[in-house]
Amino acid sequence: MALIVQKYGGTSVGSTARIQAVADKIIRDKTQGHSMVVVVSAMSGETNRLIDLAKAITDSPSDREYDVLVSTGEQVTISLLCMALETKGHAARSYTGGQVRILTDDAHSKARIEKIEDEKIHADLAAGRVVVVAGFQGITEQGHITTLGRGGSDTTAVALAAALKADECQIYTDVDGVYTTDPRVVSNARRLDSLSFEEMLEMASLGSKVLQIRSVEFASKYNVPLRVLSSFTEGGGTLIVSEDKVMEKALISGIAFSRDEAQLTLQGVPDRPGLAYHILDLIAKANIEVDMIVQNTSVAGDTTDFTFTVHRNDYKKAFTIVEQAAHTLGIAKVSGDNKIVKVSIVGIGMRSHAGIASKMFKTLSDEGINIRMISTSEIKVSVVLSEKYLELAVRALHDAFDLA
C-alpha cells in the first residue's frame, strides 16, 4: 500500500505496443494496492522529429517557442498511456507540466523546478485513478511553457516523488540497474542491489549514463528512495538510498570511467597569485567546462606547472585560448593530449578505510600503466591515463577490488 512514482523513458514508450506493455506493468503494481503516479517521456524519435521541423525554419529558434514545440512530445505520450490504461479497465488522468502546475524558473530549455502543486494529483489518487504526468516540462508563474532540458523526465519523477512524499521513485530504463562497471568492458561486472546517493552521483558524473545527475541530486536532497529498473526484463533493479540505509556496505561500489577527456598542460607558469584564476576564467567565458585541475607546488624557483582536463570536443578551442594567453602571461610552454581517459573507483567505504588509493596505484603499476594525474574526493579516487590502457585498467581494478 505504497505511493509509487514511476518514470518510463522514450524507448520504453517508443511505440503504441510498448505503451500497452507499460500500461500492463502499471496495472500489475496498482492491483497490488499501490497508488500510482507515472511520468513519461516523448516516444523515442518524436523529439528529434520536432527539432527537425524547427531546423527547417531556423537554426536558432527562440527558447520560448522551442519549449512550446518540444513539450508536445510528452503530451502525446500521456494521452496515449491513459487511453491504454482506460481501455484495460483502469481509471487514469493525464497532466501536462502546466496542468499539474510544475512551476519552474524562466530559464527556457534548462528550467529548474521551483514548486509542484499536489492537490489535483492527491485528489485523483484518492479517487483511485492512475495519474500520468508529462516529464521534462513545467510552466512559469507567468504561464509560459518551459522544459527542463533533455533527459529531464527523471528530474520530474524525482521532484514529484518528493512533493507527494512518495515511498519510492522507480526509473524504468533500458538497463536493469547500476553495475560495478560497464559490462561491455568487464564481462563479469555485477549489478548492485543498492548504493548510496553520494556514490551514484560520483558514478553519474563520471560517465555512467543510467541516471541524470540532477535527478540524483534531487533525490538525495529530499531523501527519495530511487530505484533503477529495466522496462524490458524482470528484476528488482538497483535501489539508491541515503547512506545509512544501504544494505551492502562494500569498500568500493564500482569503477566508473570516461573516454571523452583531453588534457592541457601549461609549463613554466610564473608562480604568482591569480594566474590560475585568470586562465580558467578565459576557458569558462568560452563556455568550456573544466573537470580536473592539478597544480604542483612550486618547489624550486618562481615557476610551476599547471594541468587541467576538458571534454575532448572542447580540446582544440581550449588549446587555442590558452596558447593565445600564454605569451601575455609569460607562460613558457603549452602542451596537450586528447587521447586520455579518466578511471575512478567509487565507494563510501573509502571514508573509513585507508590504503584504498595506494591499492589502486599499485594495481595499475603492476600492469605497467603510467598515471598522468590524480584527483581524490571523500568517496572517489580518479586517475588520468593514456587511452590505450582503459580496458586493461578497468579490468585489473575490478579484479583487485573483488567486484565480480
Binding footprint of a copy of itself on the chain (CB under 8 A): 16-17, 19-20, 50, 53-54, 56-58, 60-62, 64-66, 68-69, 71-72, 75-76, 78-80, 82-84, 86-87, 92-94, 96, 98-99, 120, 143, 145
Taking the complex as a whole, how short is the minimal distance between the CB of residue 98 and a copy of itself, in angstroms? 7
CB 99 → a copy of itself: shortest distance, Å? 6
Of 60 and 352, nearer to a copy of itself (C-beta) is 60
Residue 85, Cβ density class (10 Å: 0-12 exposed, 13-18 middle, ≥19 buried): buried
Rounded to a whole number of angstroms, the minimum distance from the CB of residue 145 to a copy of itself is 8
| Cβ distance to a copy of itself smaller for residue 72 or 267 | 72
The answer to whether the CB of 276 falls within 8 A of the CB of 295 is yes
Q: How far is the CB of 6 from a copy of itself (least distance, A)?
A: 19
Closest CA to 251 of 77, 402, 97, 81: 402
Q: Which residue has the cell 587555442?
A: 320
Q: Cβ closer to a copy of itself: 92 or 360?
A: 92
Of residues 78 and 161, the one with the C-beta less far from a copy of itself: 78
Q: How far is CA 383 from CA 109, 311, 345, 388, in A?
A: 34, 15, 9, 14
CB of 30 to a copy of itself, least distance (A): 18
d(CA 38, CA 2): 14
Minimum distance between the CB of residue 78 and a copy of itself, rounded to whole angstroms?
7
Q: Which lies closer to a copy of itself via its Cβ, residue 72 or residue 298?
A: 72
Measure the CA–CA gap between 46 and 48, rounded to whole angstroms. Answer: 5
For residue 30, give the 3-state DSSP assignment.
Answer: helix
Pairing of strands 333-346, 92-95: unpaired
**What is the rounded distance in angstroms from the CA atom of residue 340 to the CA atom of residue 304?**
22
For residue 329, the minimal CB distance to a copy of itself (Å) is 41
Dist. CA 60–CA 285, nearest whole Å = 21
Q: Which is nearer to a copy of itself, 68 or 251 (CB)?
A: 68
Indicate the helix (H) or strand (E) that contains 3: strand 3-8
- CB nearer a copy of itself, residue 137 or residue 344: 137
How many residues does this entry show for the chain?
A: 404
